[in-house]
Chains A and B, each alone.
Chain A
Amino acid sequence: MNALKNTFRDISQYPSAVLGLVIIVLLVIFAVYAVVTIPYNEAIRMWRGGEEIWGDYPRNAAPAWTNWFSAKKLPETIILTTDDERVKKEIQTVGSNQEVIMHYVFDYPYDDFPQEMIIFFTSKYDVKQPHITMKWVTPDGRELRMSQMSVRRSDQYRFELDERLKRRIKDMTIIQGLFATPDVMPPTIQKGQYELQISALLFEPNAEVDAKLVIYGKVHGLAGTDHLRRDLMVAMLWGAPIALSFGILAALGTSVLSMIIAAVGSWFGGAVDEVIQRITEVNLVLPVLPILIMIGTLYSRSIWVILGAVVALSIFSSSIKTFRAIFLQIKEAPYIEAARSYGAGNLRIIFSYLIPRLIPVLIPGFVIGIPSYVFLEASLAVLGLGDPVLPTWGKVINDAQAQGALFNGHYYWVLQPAVLLMITGLAFSMLGFALDRIFNPRLRGV
């Protein structure tokens, strides 16, 4: 207990270690928050679900907070359903038919045009499809009529494909035409209250119709969206527990196992030691990452299989030599001789007397090792060998690279996961370096 207290007192003398520790604690809280708010299955559903989950999100939208730093306010997504109080729905009976009129009234205060506009129709009928006419009313009272159409039970209407609007709006895109101030070039937004009127003619007494208007913005949520409209926040949140658990498990497995092997080797000496030494040398020449890639391509991309392979390939790393050198010194200590003289078994000596002495050396090495495994996971993901279901930071970078995010100016897409990776790596690394100097006083003066 006292030793622990001393360690903490030592750490507090290194500002970088304190900073690293604080960041690690925050990351752990962040990771726990992610796992608690979005359970595992929910995260996978939100990341792999399909259009019904992210259909209402814009494509490649920057995070919403980017608006705070820019004079030009990019639009957020506007979703209007008939449950919304901005939407009025009237039903009139015309002879044997019904007419449903829906008014979608909304404010448009942004400085840029929306990305896309879609109306999603759902209707119920037996034989005859409902007939739809639509009208767009601008703040200055102009009216634009759209093509008439019949809708199926589930249907979409995309403004930019409308032939009738295309004939009316000549020198700009349809979406620009709907929101622009008339006769101003280049197209400028006319701010104010817009209205969309949808009137549907139903030919059957039990028929129903409903419509949802989605005006896709150019910013979304805290983290933006990717090319498939997925909310990047899911990946940013879930990347944390995955990165932390992968890094910590791999570093722990590797360092503990290699220490045990080094202890066994130096305790028994002779042939055992020789074999371990030779394996270490072969292992040095083994192409670890290519083998991992091979495993990822040929067998399984599951993050746990890769974790196992990483640990298996890194057990006989160069750290065995460091451990061995120290064990050889400790082995000669009088207390080991005492243990031997009272008849302690080999296992008892190795696990109770040798290994505990090395924990001060182990801990810094373990902490310094974590970032390399965190980045290894990201590296594999960047190569397209990420876990097939889980969202990770590396996979987001991989998607962004594949879609030319930097080239197309979607900087947020690459920067967010990269900065999170950087923070994680730096935090463990800073703490590890300080621990190294605390536990290995030989370096402290240096």
Chain B
Amino acid sequence: MTEATQSPVTASPSSLEKKATASTLSRLAKYTLVKILTLGVTIVIGVYLTIIIANMGGEVDNIRRGEIRERVALMVSMNQDLRRLPAEERAKYINDMVKIEEDRLGLDRPFILRSFTYLTDAMSLNLGRAQFLTSDSGSKQVRLIILERLPPTLVLFGTANILLFFFALFIALGLSRHYGSFLDRLVIALAPTSAAPGWFYGIFLILIFAAVLNVLPYGGMVDAPVPDTTIGYALSLLKHMILPTLAIFLSSIFITIYSWRTFFLIFSSEDYVEMAKAKGLSSQMIERRYILRPTMPNIITNFALLIIGLWFGAIILETVFNWPGLGRLFYRAIGLFDTPVIVGETVIYAYLLAITVFLLDFIYALVDPRVKVGGEGPKA
């Protein structure tokens, strides 16, 4: 506020501000729209590639054929007249029906054409039926199975990522101001430990806190039997979340602090920071306005890459901790060779990644002064 209001103004300050807000909003809206469109195209291409890879061995075709056969068989068994037919005739009838259905749905068409049908199916989350796995509510719909497993994953990774972001931000900012101190050098020395993924730390954490000290559970999401009260449930959930969250946190915190601290150091050697110091601004003000602000876009890009890495780490982390999320589902699907679930999950992961990238891009737009104030948008 201080500099802006002190500068001489010709128009009335309030109308100028309003105008600025309006143009910022429209710029944001435009930026968001462009981002959504590009990401939409990106997702389509990503999912399409996934389908192509999945169908190189004809697996998606098999999923579809299995579905058609099941539907036809069910229809025949429901029909009184058809049920009375001798077994051979009935089998022949079913085969004919399956053939007709397959032709109708275009399974006899070349793969290039079919792949677009699969693409629209996948994009609309019409992921087919699982071969072995069922959702807790008993459904075999891959979509339902996956949706049921989504909340635990989001809870765990949301918590861990938020903790990671804020801890890393404040510690990095603090360290950059005490550059060269013991703590600073300690963090640099510890940065290489982030080469190991979260599940790896998870194993050690389970060993220490569950196996040796026996203070925290080995895995799972809540105690068995499940507590009746909401508070009891929440406490039990918290207790089970400590170790996996800690594992994610430990695996990324040092490298994140290290790289963000480097960003801060680069920006705090800029001339305008020296200028602000010379003007006698408080160090808090300098940090917020002149260091944190211009660094934010870099930090958010860095964080986006980090989260993308963590999403994949999730698959194994959840397996190690028996966390009933998407990753654990993936692991079970691999064990059972449940192809529809594996393909479906890959599609879902493509979506999740895209949403993550989009959200972070949006925040990027909010904090990046170039999007907010300047004419030229950032080239992402």
Contacts and interface: CB of A to CB of B under 8 A. Distances in A.
A401 B319 CA distance: 9
Contacts, number: 146
B207 A414 contact: yes
Nearest to A407: B218
A422 B200 contact: yes
Given A297-B339, A297-B342, A375-B195, A291 B50 contact: yes
A255 interface: no
B334 A415 contact: no
Contacts of B354: 285
Contacts of B357: 284-285
B157 interface: no
B335 A384 contact: yes
Interface stretch (A58-66, A164-172, A425-433): A425-433
A290 B330 contact: yes
A418 B330 contact: no
A409 B218 CA distance: 13
Contact of B199 (A16, A288, A379): A379
A383 interface: yes
Contact of B350 (A285, A293, A297, A298): A285
A282 B42 CA distance: 5
Interface residues of B, number: 60
A406 B312 contact: no
Contact of B203 (A287, A385, A414): A414
Contacts of B337: 297
A290 B349 contact: yes
Interface in B309-355: 311-313, 315-316, 319-320, 330-331, 334-335, 337, 339, 342-343, 345-346, 349-350, 353-354
Given A282-B42, A318-B305, A429-B192, A298 B316 contact: no
A382 interface: yes
Contact of B200 (A287, A294, A298, A375): A375
A290 B47 CA distance: 12
B273 interface: no
Highest count of chain B CB atoms <10 Å: which of A288, A297, A443: A297
Contacts of B42: 281-282, 285
A382 B316 CA distance: 7
B157 to A, nearest CB: 14
A297 B334 contact: yes
Interface stretch (B15-23, B51-59, B78-86): B51-59
B147 interface: no
A69 interface: no
B335 A293 contact: no
Nearest to A408: B211
A294 B195 contact: no
Contacts of A297: 334, 337, 339, 342
Interface residues of A, number: 50
Interface in A245-288: 281-282, 284-288
Nearest to A317: B305
A287 B350 contact: yes
A63 to B, nearest CB: 16
Q: Could you tell me the dominant secondary structure of chain B's interface residues?
A: helix
A446 B266 contact: yes
A426 B195 contact: yes
A289 interface: yes
Given A290-B315, A409-B211, A298 B46 contact: no
Interface in B285-310: 305, 308
A177 interface: no
Given A286-B46, A406-B206, A382 B192 contact: no
Interface string B37-55: 0110011011001100110
A298 B59 contact: yes
Q: Could you tell me the dominant secondary structure of chain A's interface residues?
A: helix
B207 A286 contact: no
A8 interface: no
A282 B199 contact: no
A406 B203 contact: yes
B197 interface: yes
B250 interface: no
A297 B331 CA distance: 11
Contacts of A281: 38, 42, 380
Nearest to A397: B203
B56 A291 contact: no
Contacts of A382: 199, 316, 319-320
A443 B262 contact: yes
Contact of A282 (B45, B179, B189, B339): B45
A287 B189 contact: no
Nearest to A430: B192
Interface in B152-208: 179, 188-189, 191-197, 199-200, 203-204, 206-207
B331 A383 contact: yes
A411 interface: yes
A78 interface: no
Interface in A275-329: 281-282, 284-291, 293-299, 318
B265 interface: yes
A289 B315 contact: yes
A421 interface: yes
A239 interface: no
A81 interface: no
A371 interface: yes
A380 B42 CA distance: 26
Contacts of B342: 290, 293-294, 297-298
Nearest to A295: B53
B334 A406 contact: no
Given A285-B354, A297-B334, A415-B207, A426 B200 contact: no
Nearest to A417: B203
B97 interface: no
A85 B350 CA distance: 67
A294 B54 CA distance: 7
A372 B195 contact: yes
Given A285-B353, A425-B195, A294 B46 contact: no
B51 to A, nearest CB: 10
Contact of A425 (B59, B196, B265): B196
A286 B350 contact: yes
Nearest to A372: B195
Interface in A8-57: 16, 20
Contact of B195 (A282, A379, A407, A428): A428
14 contacts: A285-B39, A285-B42, A289-B312, A294-B54, A294-B343, A298-B54, A379-B199, A382-B199, A383-B331, A384-B334, A415-B207, A418-B204, A422-B196, A446-B179
Given A298-B342, A422-B196, A446-B265, 10 more contacts: A285-B43, A285-B353, A285-B354, A290-B312, A294-B342, A375-B197, A406-B211, A411-B207, A414-B207, A432-B192
Q: Which 7 A-B pairs have the closest CB atoms?
A: A429-B192, A371-B195, A287-B349, A289-B312, A429-B195, A290-B346, A425-B195
